[in-house]
Structure 1
Amino acid sequence: MASSRKRIWRWSRDILIALLIFGAWQWWTSKDLVTGPTPPLVGFDLEGQPLSLADLKGRPVLVHFWATWCPVCRLENGSIDAIARDHAVLAVATTSGSAEEVRAYMAQEGLHFPVLLDEEGGLARQWQVSGVPATFVVNRAGDIAWAGQGFSTEIGLRLWLWWAE
């Protein structure tokens, strides 16, 4: 009985340590991301149509910077696509090539979320994104409610969107 309690205590301790390390890592990688009111996010989608974050004001929006060459982004893409079925999502393909190349990648991966093209990385610089993936949750007022860089879980992003409601 005592060894069972010790084992439970060790597991609890190890889980707590892992969560603290993960939280510290999230804080460290996200500390330089833009906060407060959102910078402008205006450009063209993959079909050449104008697309803007301002068009989505009044509801929570997931703004997701990603790249076709990023392996972590590839892991997240399915989650971003699933979230886009229920919530406003504006994804920014940064330094990922031409619209045709990004469109081909999305077709190959079966992705359907709306994408702003950021061929030169200018939009990423405006948002102080130094690496991808970087994700922001924007609340109804147009302020950044949460920002994170690196892998994010679908459940975590959904919780942040719920919180931004």
Structure 2
Amino acid sequence: MNKLLNKVKQIKWHIWLRDLGILGAIFVAISVWQSRDMLDIDSHLLLKDQLLVSMDGQTNTILKADKPTLIYFFAPWCKICSLSIGNLEYLDTNKLNIVRIALDYTNVEEVQDFADKHNISSQILLGHKGIKQQFKIQGYPTYYILDQQQKVLAKSYGYSTALGLKLRQVFSG
């Protein structure tokens, strides 16, 4: 009887692992499909002289030369952005610069309301159609990790958990 119970448990364990593998494969396939029109991994951008204005009126460059940069593109009306922007707080800023860029906003007050609602004290840059086109932004949120030479190390579109962002940080840096 014990052998039969062990065999049943083993079969259930194998079924559970199979189902988990299928779910993982589906998740990867969806992620690849969603990011098909984004910039290619290992492609290079020309951003050195690109300046964007922050919400406080300061002019800033997108990339810093000291470490890789995660660029998070969002729209203040985006519900998924509302759910995901807080996950950026879990990343190690000693190893990664984080740049938040607002796009498709009506006015600065709309972006400020979004920042206040989500307790974002970090700087937010105000993007424009040119930067949206340069990064091939099709929807929100869109993430890119770029190295110091402006090479795309990682990309993602849609909701990312704090764990997913940390894994991208580990594997890209």
TM-score, normalized by length of structure 1? 0.89
Shift of 1:162: 2.5
Q: Which aligned segments of 4 or more residues in structure 1 are displaced greater than 4 angstroms?
A: none
- Note the residue ranges of structure 1 that are not aligned, 5 or more in a row: none
The answer for the alignment partner of 1:38 in structure 2 is: 45
1:92-144: CA deviation from partner (whole Å, max 9, x where unpaired): 111122222211221122112321112x5332121001111110111232211
Amino acid at match of 2:148: R
Q: How does 1:8-157 map to 2 (within 5 A)?
A: 8-35=13-40, 36-40=43-47, 41-54=50-63, 56-83=64-91, 86=94, 87-118=96-127, 120-157=128-165
Q: Distance in 2 between matches of 1:30 and 1:57?
A: 26
> 1:7 and 2:20 equivalent?
no
Q: Distance in 2 between matches of 1:20 and 1:70?
A: 27
Shift of 1:33: 0.6
8 Å CA contact 1:66–1:92 kept in 2: the answer is: yes
8 Å CA contact 1:133–1:150 kept in 2: the answer is: yes
C-alpha RMSD of the superposition = 1.8
8 Å CA contact 1:72–1:150 kept in 2: the answer is: yes
| Aligned length, in residue pairs | 163
TM-score, normalized by length of structure 2? 0.85
- Note the residue ranges of structure 2 that are not aligned, 5 or more in a row: 1-5
Q: Distance in 2 between matches of 1:124 and 1:11?
A: 42
